[in-house]
Amino acid sequence: MKRYLALALIALAACGENKKEETSDKLPASLVNNPHSAAGIDTVAAAMKPVMQFTDTSYSFGKIQEGEVVSHEFAFTNTGKSPLIISSASGSCGCTVPDYPKEPIAPGQAAVLKVTFNSNGKGGHQEKSVTLITNTLQGRQMLFIQAEVEKKKKK
């Protein structure tokens, strides 16, 4: 038992020594403040959060040919009171690729998020989504695209 305790202490000590002082190119924690708690919502902190206001959250490419690669830019504005951070954006499928701003978006600033859909190997009605993880009060935003993909005619 003493042997296990000694090994555990040595392992913990070794872990602590490997920590390097990180350079501060990260964003300040105040930008990702979470106003939710067990006691409820901190309304003052919630009022200071960024807000993503989109022109539209869904787009239809209409009819496209199989193999076509199409894109749409979703325009939005940060109508909140603090910088907006999009920490990640992911498509529901490998055929749907979002390209989003990596830098904080200041209050009042507009930006675009480009979504590219590759219809190669697809056919018929296609509905795809993009999930954004942000520092808004909701923390998550969904965007949707759709297309009617006409299969290539076999020769």
Average pLDDT over residues 82-87: 97
Q: What is the pTM of this model?
A: 0.73
Task: Kindly indicate the confidence band of residue 125, based on its pLDDT and cuts at 50, 70 and 90.
Answer: very high
pLDDT at residue number 43:
75
Q: Residue 135: count other Cβ atoms within 10 Å of its Cβ.
A: 21
pLDDT at 15 over 60: no
Alpha helices, DSSP H, located in 19-152:
43-47
For residue 16, pLDDT over 70 is answered with: no
Contact assessment for residue 147 and residue 98, using Cβ atoms and an 8 Å cutoff: no
Q: Provide the CA 49 distance to its chain's centre, in angstroms.
A: 16
pLDDT at residue 31 greater than cutoff 60: no
- Rounded to 10 degrees, what is the CA torsion of 51, 52, 56, 62? -150
Question: Given this model, what pLDDT does residue 57 score?
Answer: 97
Strand 96-99 relative to strand 69-78: parallel, antiparallel, unpaired?
A: unpaired
Which pLDDT score, from 0 to 100, does residue 50 have?
96
Q: What is the pLDDT of residue 153?
A: 77
Q: What is the mean pLDDT of residues 135-140?
A: 94
